[in-house]
């Protein structure tokens, strides 16, 4: 069974001040989904923008692919590891999602993310 990505779900960028950046992007029309001191997640429709402050340690700038089913994300993890792709362990996020990070051929970070359906 091949990996079944749903979509490119978000781009994550580094910012100096999370609160100021949230206000800036909210003024541009994005909706705040989650905000902490060191990290925030905003959406424009279904597309996401993660803002990571200087103290955020989980990951650097990256792009994230979304899976509907956790089992698909876990399958992708196993397949990428078998292919020798550098990946982190799967970890649980404070917003209820779960993911792992990997590196592409040019050392760029990507994230494979399970995002539960929101009712």
For residue 19, pLDDT beyond 60: yes
Domains of the chain (ranges; CATH) run 7-114 (3.10.180.10)
For residue 119, pLDDT beyond 60: no
How far apart are the C-alpha atoms of 38 and 27, rounded to whole Å?
Answer: 20
pTM of the entire predicted model? 0.79
Q: Which residues does residue 47 pair with via DSSP β-bridges, in sequence order? A: 44
Please, are residues 89 and 74 in contact by the beta-carbon 8 Å criterion?
no
The DSSP code for 118 is P
Give residue-wise pLDDT tens across range 23-62.
Answer: 999 999 999 999 999 999 999 999 999 999 998 887 789 9
Give residue-wise pLDDT tens across range 51-86.
Answer: 999 988 877 899 999 988 899 999 999 999 999 999
For residue 1, pLDDT beyond 80: no
Give residue-wise pLDDT tens across range 88-114.
Answer: 999 998 778 899 999 998 889 999 999
């Amino acid at each position: 069974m091949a990996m079944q990505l749903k979509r490119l779900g978000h781009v994550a960028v580094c910012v100096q001040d999370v609160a100021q950046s949230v206000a800036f992007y909210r003024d541009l029309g994005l909706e705040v989904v989650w905000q902490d001191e060191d990290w925030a997640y905003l959406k424009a429709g279904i597309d996401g923008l993660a803002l990571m402050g200087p103290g955020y340690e989980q990951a650097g700038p990256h792009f994230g692919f979304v899976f509907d089913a956790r089992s698909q994300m876990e399958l992708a993890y196993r397949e990428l590891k078998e292919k020798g792709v550098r990946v982190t362990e799967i970890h649980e996020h404070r917003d209820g999602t779960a993911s792992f990070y990997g590196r592409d051929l040019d050392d760029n970070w990507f994230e494979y993310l399970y995002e539960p359906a929101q009712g």
